[in-house]
Structure 1
Amino acid sequence: MGRQYLLGFDVGSSSVKASLVNVETGACVATAFFPEHEAPIKAVKAGWAEQNPESWWIYAKQSLAKIMADSTVEGEDIKAIGISYQMHGLVCVDKECRPLRDAIIWCDSRAVPYGEEAFESIGAELCLGHLLNSPGNFTAAKLAWVKTQEPQLYDRIHKVMLPGDYIAMKLSGEINTTISGLSEGVFWDFKQRQVADFLMKHYGFRQDIIADIVPTFSIQGEVSKAAAQETGLKEGTPISYRAGDQPNNALSLNVFNPGEIASTAGTSGVVYGVLGEINYDKKSRVNTFAHVNYTDNLTRLGVLLCINGTGILNAWVRRNIAPEGISYGEMNDLAASVAIGSEGLKVIPFGNGAERVLENREVGCSIHGIDFNNTTRAHIARSAQEGIVFSFCYGMEIMRHMGMSIRRIHAGKANMFLSKLFRDTLASTSGATIELYETDGSQGAAKGAGMGAGIYKDHDEAFATLKRLEIIEPDHARQSEYLNAYAEWKETLKKVIG
């Protein structure tokens, strides 16, 4: 097969990462990210969050230059390019493909009133039945904000796109997007299988402001002469895959079919499950988008549960409660010295902003059941991890009510999944087997590109070399203890949220 490699970009809000994957072995031969310190986010007003799209392109080029230098891989050796990106952002460009303003990114909350107004005016039944979500604070609502607040700029918009669409455009000179991308922007009508006319009319958007639609796995464009000169890539190299970071994380973990779950537990936590039929949560406590393998003939939806207060809670405990200088591993050992259920101590972990799973309530983090004669740092350390797990299981109940059978949870061995206590509690409370893998988003995007370019015939071939590190089965002998602790935690949560 010779020297054949796949290139994956992961465009995050803190950095842009690039990875080179060997086609034959599936091994990552080089990886790098820029900037080395967290990328700036502009917050002109409270609740705003913007980034210059051109900075993503600069970081992508820097990361690419580093991995090509480190690996001695030449542009002609790279056979396809895939892109993962931060979801829900809004990039507006003019006819010369230049950004008209900074991108309004995922954590910007200014558009909430515009989404709420559309939901009330259009009606819950139509929105949820067709969009599977409330317009909320997603890309369509952000565009409505621009149209209302910056009308002269809005009139100059040629196309709107997501962050990944922008990087693809910089590589190819072509503007296009995907159904998965449109669904995460809440532009896609799942019943009519087209851009949602009723939402476009409500907001007064032109139909041609939406980019051309290409399949998620396909030759979406080719590296232009100008981009080849800028990057060292070979002109004509196909861009053959793109997806938002959470669908792409699921792809990276080989999660494609109903009943399969991908999870992350960093600062915030995500449970992303695949559903095989059109459905939604009537209270919009979880979001439903088109998964990477959704087509007109194959219903594959990604149901996204996000918990804001996960790893950030564990970090807070280490910083403020645990003995000074303790490592996370030592803190996990300390927590494991306490029995399941933390002897009645319960932590409600929602201290990092409004939680969608609680219908956008902001209840804060709280500790319940402290016994001055018994409660120690170890109890707090354990109950914090249990609280995080129980919040995951609480959201997973919603997903089960939507018809999802949760049998396996795939995750990277990182962040909270490094804790044996966390893993055992999650497996035994949820009843699902946990499989831990060695991968990341940029490597997944590279393999997605191999699928889109036809280098791999399907996802089974693309991920045949995915390295599984560990399997954690539910502890059936002690499952009742975990479930009793979870039931008591839920009773406490009910009192907190009234």
Structure 2
Amino acid sequence: MAALLGIDLGAGSLKATLIDETGATLAEAAAPITTHNPKPGWSEQDPAEWWQALCTAVPQVLEKAGIAAGDIAAVGISAGAHIAVLEDAKGEVLRPAIMWNDQRSTAEAAELHERAGEMIIATGLNRANPTWTLCQLAWLQKHEPQVLARTERLYIAKDWLRSRLTADWTTDYSDALGALMSDVETRGWSPDICGLIGWDMATLPPVGAPEAIAGEVTEAAARATGLAAGTPVVIGSNDTTVELYGAGAIEAGQGAIKLATAGVVFLACDRPEVHPPVSCYPHIMPGLWYMASGINACATAHRWVRDTFFADLPKETAFAEMDRLAGTVAPGSDGLIFHPYLMGERAPHWDPKLRAAFIGLTLGHTRAHFARACYEGIAYALNDVLRTAKDLSGASFGDMRLLGGGARSATWRQIIADVTGLTVKVPANGDASFGAALVAGVGGGVFASPQAAVARCARILEENRPDAGRHATYARMFDLYDAARRGLTPVSHRLHAQQHESV
């Protein structure tokens, strides 16, 4: 029986998953990744650490599975979108990779939108904001022109990591679109958008299909990773694209909510739905697209609450205790509301100056309330995204797959169902490394088609249905959450200005 290896470069770790041709997990392994924040609002990673993490996780997953490297039929890699790696003529990385949640290019994004916003949206389907590579490159032109002068090749994160395995230089359309430098008509790079910042298109990689074979594992990469030389590696796609696909949302109207470092809302659709600031991407399934929009701090906020309010507990048990305590508190947390804007906010407000807040505190509140308010606040933020997507597109959301580490919490799952009013389903395998492995299986010939891979491998473990009474309670609480956000926005902006004046 053939094995398939999926590798996902996440914001906090790199994960390797081995599955068989029925979708059963043979083994998993992970290695941590460090994010650096050299200035407020900045977020960077060292690509060399990505490769080190891959060289750690892959031998571990092979050992855990107890299979020979030669049993792997194909490899797929995914990573976060928008993350560019710049190399010089010698193949040396020129600077740390700017992450998707970095906010430094706010001014450049605003200038690009004012100058050519309609063209960018019509051509690249999305609006310029600091998440997109185009805006980050515009910032680098102003502040680090010496780096761009030496740039010979631009990679997107998953492509750079794959190039360490195969020495190829290719991307897929979803990641080209994620750079906000592509053309929907040609499904390639856009001369018009690149021309806005004078970008040399010779530095941009060829574009191919996610399931296409990009190359084979080289002898050098085999020695570093334990993989067999000659193993096929597919081009792959970004994490959100393969997650939605691997979760089994392969028909228009099906969607997902991801509880990971960032919180993301997805909805599959049968045509491009262009409703900035909601993002639009091509699906793995031919002819399908999906809308996606995300909040900056999901698991990040969850972890911050753990480290701040549960620091006396061992980290390996603190999350479980948070979950238990959150389940002892009534919906609404007795009036305690959490805004999870610890890193500003992306969707739906696109305001890097927003600040997080707990409001409504009384002497009756305990840390159990803080735990539940954390879950509820993140659910409110995701509901804010859902509400905006519905208002902009008129789309109807059916049941939603729940992805990411947060999906393990029964309490959090039910809170999300009750806040949103939607049934949430938990896939047996709901992460990007699983989706990347399925894409590898299609390219490697293990599955006859993308549909066949999902039909054979994607399964639902359990579901949470919303309770009408709790949904009504949360509808009232969400109104207060939103009113408080609007009222506190001017205060957040003044605090931001004061902080930056003192830096």
The question of a shared fold, defined as TM-score above 0.5 by the shorter chain, is answered with yes
Query: Which residue of structure 1 lines up, in the alignment, with residue 443 of structure 2?
Result: 452
Equivalence map 1:196-211=2 (5 Å):
196-211=190-205
Matched, 1:386 2:376: yes
Per the alignment, residue 487 of structure 1 pairs with: 479
- Does structure 1 conserve the Cα–Cα contact (< 8 Å) formed by 2:2 and 2:446? no
Q: Distance in 2 between matches of 1:496 and 1:257?
A: 40
Q: Aligned pair in 2 of structure 1 residues 376, 106: CA closer, same or farther (>3 Å)?
A: closer
After superposition, give the CA deviation of every residue in 1:206-248 in whole Å (9 maximum; x if it has no partner). Answer: 2222111111121222223443454443343221241222222
Tell whether 2:488 aligns with 1:465. no
Q: 1:313 to 1:164 in 2, by over 3 A?
A: closer
Aligned partner letter, 1:396: L
- Aligned residue in 1 for 2:119: 126
Q: Distance between the aligned counterparts of 1:117 and 1:187, measured in 2?
A: 16
Question: Alpha carbons of 1:16 and 1:312: their partners in 2 closer, same or farther (altered >3 Å)?
Answer: closer
Equivalent residue for 2:264? 270
Pairs within 5 Å for 1:62-73:
62-73=56-67
Deviation for aligned residue 1:64: 1.9
Correspondence for 2:153: 159
Give the structure 2 partner of residue 39 of structure 1: 33
- Deviation of the 1:409 alpha carbon: 1.4
Tell me how many residue pairs correspond in the alignment.
Answer: 483
Q: Is the 8 A contact 2:176 2:188 kept in 1?
A: no
1:407 aligns with 2:398: yes
Residue type at the aligned position of 1:88: H
8 Å Cα contact 1:263/1:271 also seen in 2: yes
Once residues 171 and 323 of structure 1 are traced to their aligned partners in structure 2, the CA distance between those partners, rounded to angstroms, is 40
Partner of 1:347: 338
CA deviation after TM superposition for structure 1 residue 467, in Å: 4.4
- Quick check: 1:306 aligned with 2:295? yes
What is the Cα deviation at residue 328 of structure 1?
Answer: 4.1
Name the amino acid aligned to 2:382: F
- Alpha-carbon shift at residue 379 of structure 1 (Å): 4.3
**TM-score, reference length from structure 1:** 0.86
Distance 2:337 2:353 in 1: 18
Residue 342 of structure 2 aligns with an amino acid whose one-letter code is G
Q: For residues 59-107 of structure 1, give each alpha carbon's deviation from its aligned partner in whole angstroms, at most 9, with x where no partner exists.
A: 2123222223333422321111100113221112234544344433334
**Is 318-327 or 199-208 further displaced after alignment?**
318-327
TM-score (norm. length: structure 2)? 0.85
Q: Closer, same or farther in 2 for the Cα pair 1:46/1:412, shift >3 Å?
A: closer
Q: Distance in 1 between matches of 2:437 and 2:330?
A: 43
Amino acid at match of 2:122: G
| 1: CA distance, partners of 2:204 / 2:272 | 24
How many angstroms apart in 2 are the aligned matches of 1:19 and 1:87? 20
8 A contact 2:14–2:33 mirrored in 1: no
Q: Counterparts of 2:405 and 2:6 in 1: how far apart (Å)?
A: 20
SS in 2 for 1:350: coil
Shift of 1:316: 4.8
Cα distance in 1 for partners of 2:12, 2:148 equals: 27
Matching residue within 100, 104, 114 for 1:106: 100
Q: Which sections of structure 2, spanning at least 5 residues, go unmatched?
A: 491-503
More displaced stretch, 149-158 vs 433-442: 149-158
Q: Residue in 2 aligned with 1:292?
A: 284
Q: CA RMSD in A?
A: 3.0
Mark the CA change 1:448 to 1:116 in structure 2 (over 3 Å): closer, same or farther: same
For the Cα contact (< 8 Å) 1:340–1:485, is it kept in 2? no
Task: State percent identity of aligned pairs.
Answer: 27
User: What is the SS of the residue equivalent to 1:56?
Assistant: helix
